[in-house]
Amino acid sequence: MATNQLKAAYEAAEKLPLKYQDLIAEKILEEIEEAEWDEWLAQPETDAYLDTLEKGLKADIKAGRIIKHIPGKSLAELFQQ
């Protein structure tokens, strides 16, 4: 179900040349993706999940299981240390 405003915008966009329709569609899809991320991040479960990831990462760093990335070095060079 779409709002009247969304329907009006769609109808107006249909009258534009195709190149403008594609630009508008791209912008709309970007906004939808951003809104989906905002919704996901606003959930309490997400905050708890991110906290769990952070604790695990800190434990890995403390235990030495994380290798510092050095720009310009290959993975083979980094893992030879």
The amino acid that residue 49 corresponds to is Y
The amino acid that residue 17 corresponds to is P
Same domain (yes/no): 27, 58: no
* pLDDT tens sequence across 22-63: 999 999 999 999 999 999 999 999 999 999 999 999 999 899
Q: Are 52 and 38 in contact (CB under 8 A)?
A: no
Q: Which residues are CB-contacts of 81 (< 8 A; sequence separation ≥ 6)?
A: 67
Same domain (yes/no): 50, 80: yes
The structure tokens listed for 7 are: 């329907």
What is the per-residue pLDDT for 74? 84
Same domain (yes/no): 33, 14: yes
What is the number of domains present in the chain? 2
- Is residue 68 pLDDT above 90, yes or no? no
Residue 74 belongs to domain spanning: 44-81
Q: Are 14 and 7 in contact (CB under 8 A)?
A: no
What is the per-residue pLDDT for 81? 59
What is the per-residue pLDDT for 73? 82
